Amino acid sequence: MKYDIIIAGTGCAGLSFIYFLLKSSLKDKNILLIDQENPNPLDKTWCYWSDKPLELHPKDKVVSWKKIRVSKNHKNEPHSLKSLNYYHLKSSDFQKHIKDFLLDFPNVHYLVDQVTEISDLGDYCNVATKNNGSILGQKVVNSIPNLVEFNFKSNVRQIFTGWTISTEQNVFDKDSATLMEFNAVPNDHVNFIYILPYSANEALIEYTIFSEHDIETSLLEPSLDSYIKQQLKIDQFTILSKEHGVIPMTNTLKKIKNQKNIVNIGTAGGATKASTGYTFYNVQKQVKQIIQLLENNNDFDAYSPFTSKRFMFYDNIILNIIKKWPEKTPKIFVEMFAKNKPEMVLKFLNEETTLWEEINILKNLPLYICIKSLLNYEKY
Ligand SMILES: Cc1cc2nc3c(=O)[nH]c(=O)nc-3n(C[C@H](O)[C@H](O)[C@H](O)COP(=O)(O)OP(=O)(O)OC[C@H]3O[C@@H](n4cnc5c(N)ncnc54)[C@H](O)[C@@H]3O)c2cc1C
C-alpha cells in the first residue's frame, strides 16, 4: 500500500498542513499522519499577532490582548496595538479542533509510531518506522526535527520555563501582555520575563534566556520563583500548570534544500523566526505555499524558503548582538518598540514590511551597536 501523502509529525506544522490540505483540491488524496507515542504531552501556549484570529484558531478559544509591554522595567506603559491583537491558543485546544475536523475524512489515516528515517527513492519515499516497518508514500511532509541534519552547535537558542499561577489577590493587569521585561533577573545571559494575564488573578509567567549552551529548563525555576515573590511581590500563589521549551534561533534550517519528494515544515523547515523564536504564524504561511506547490504538481525541491534574504540579514544582525554584546540586546528590542509604531514593528517581525518601512524602523535603532554588528557580520 502506498499513500499519496505522508505527514510525519502532527504538532503545530503537521496539523496545520493537513487542515489546509483538506481545504484544497487535494482533499481526496490518500493521506497518512504519523506521530510517536507521547505519554506526557506538553500543553504549549502559542501566541501570534494579527488583525483577526487565524482561520484554524477555534472560534470558542480566542483569548487576546490589545496592549503589549516591551520594557526594561515592568512599570513602563504598555504599547497599544491599534488594529492588531496579540492572540493566544493552547496546543491542546488546537489539536482537538483539527482532530475533530479530520473525522469527516475517511481518506485520512493515523498511525502512532516512531519514525526512524525518511528517504527519497526518486519516484516515491520510504518512511521507516520502529514498529510498522517501511511505509511508502508518493510525497512526505516532515516536521520531525531530529530527522533533519543541521549544525546547531554554535547557535543561540531560547530556553524558557513558565508557570501558570493563580493568586488570592487581584494583581495582574489583565489588559496587557508582557512580551519582554528585560533584566528582571540578575544573569549574564540576555533574559526576560513574559507574562500572559488571563485575569486579574491568573497568569502565565515565563522566564526566558538566550544561550549558546544547553541549560536544563528546571534550573530556571528558582529565578522564576524569586521574580514572582520579589518583583511582583506575590507571596502566596498556586501553580496550575507548567510549560518549558527550547527554541532554536537560527537561519540554518531555512537553507536546507528540500528533496524532490520530501519537504520539511515547521521548526524543522525553518519556520521559526531566528531573532524571536515565534513560529506559529509563519507555519500558516509556509504550509499554504507548499500545498500550492503540490496543487501545481511541482516537486518539493522547487520550494525556496519563504523568508527573504533581507529578513535573514536583519535576524543575523540581531543574533550577532545577542551573541557578542548581550548587554546591548534589551536596548535593541525596547527602542524598536518605543521609537516606532508597535504595530509596524510587529508587521516587520512577521516579515511583511516593505523595504521602505524597514528602513524607517531600522533608522530608529541604536546606531552604534548596529554598525558594530554589521562590521562583525556573521551568519547564524
Ligand atoms: C512551550 C512552547 C511555547 C511556544 N510558544 C510559542 C508562541 O507563543 N508563539 C509561536 O509562534 N511559537 C511558539 N513556540 C514555538 C513553536 O511554535 C512550537 O514549538 C511549535 O510546536 C512548532 O511546531 P512544529 O510542528 O514544528 O513542531 P512540534 O509541534 O514539536 O511537532 C513535531 C511533532 O513531531 C513528533 N515527533 C518527534 N519525533 C518523532 C519521531 N521520531 N517519530 C514520530 N513523531 C515524532 C512530536 O511528537 C511532535 O508532535 C513555542 C514552543 C514551545 C516549546
* Angle at the Cα of 190 from the Cα atoms of 188 and 194, rounded to 5 degrees: 125
Antiparallel, parallel or unpaired: β 202-211 and 156-167 = antiparallel
Q: What pLDDT, in 10s, does the model give residues 65-88?
A: 999 999 986 667 899 999 999 999
Q: With beta carbons less than 8 A apart as the criterion, state whether 378 and 250 touch.
A: no
* 11 C-alpha to ligand 1 centroid (Å): 5
pLDDT tens by residue, the chain, 380 residues: 799 999 999 999 999 999 999 999 999 999 999 999 988 888 999 999 999 999 999 999 999 999 999 998 666 789 999 999 999 999 999 999 999 999 999 999 999 999 999 999 999 999 999 999 999 999 999 999 888 876 665 688 999 999 999 999 999 999 999 999 998 888 778 899 999 999 999 999 999 999 988 888 888 999 999 999 999 999 999 999 999 999 989 988 888 888 999 999 999 999 999 999 999 999 999 999 999 999 998 999 888 777 789 999 999 999 999 999 999 999 999 999 999 999 999 999 999 999 999 999 999 999 899 999 999 998 88
Q: Which of 38, 247, 349 has most ligand 1 atoms within 8 Å of its beta carbon, as the pocket-test mutant? A: 247
For the CA of 243, the closest atom of ligand 1 is 1
pTM of the model: 0.95
Give the residue among 169, 125, 104 at the shortest CA–CA distance from 34.
125
CB atoms within 10 A of CB 186: 8
Tell me whether residue 104 is exposed, middle or buried, using C-beta atoms within 10 angstroms of its C-beta: 0 to 12, 13 to 18, 19 or more: exposed
The residue whose CA has the least distance to atom 31 of ligand 1 is: 11
**DSSP, res 258:** P
* 12 C-alpha to ligand 1 centroid (Å): 6
* 45 C-alpha to ligand 1 centroid (Å): 11
Tell me whether residue 13 is exposed, middle or buried, using C-beta atoms within 10 angstroms of its C-beta: 0 to 12, 13 to 18, 19 or more: buried
For the CA of 114, the closest atom of ligand 1 is 42
* 173 C-alpha to ligand 1 centroid (Å): 29
Q: What pLDDT, in 10s, does the model give residues 167-217?
A: 999 999 999 999 999 988 887 788 999 999 999 999 999 999 999 888 888
Half-sphere exposure of 356 (CA within 13 A, CB side): 0
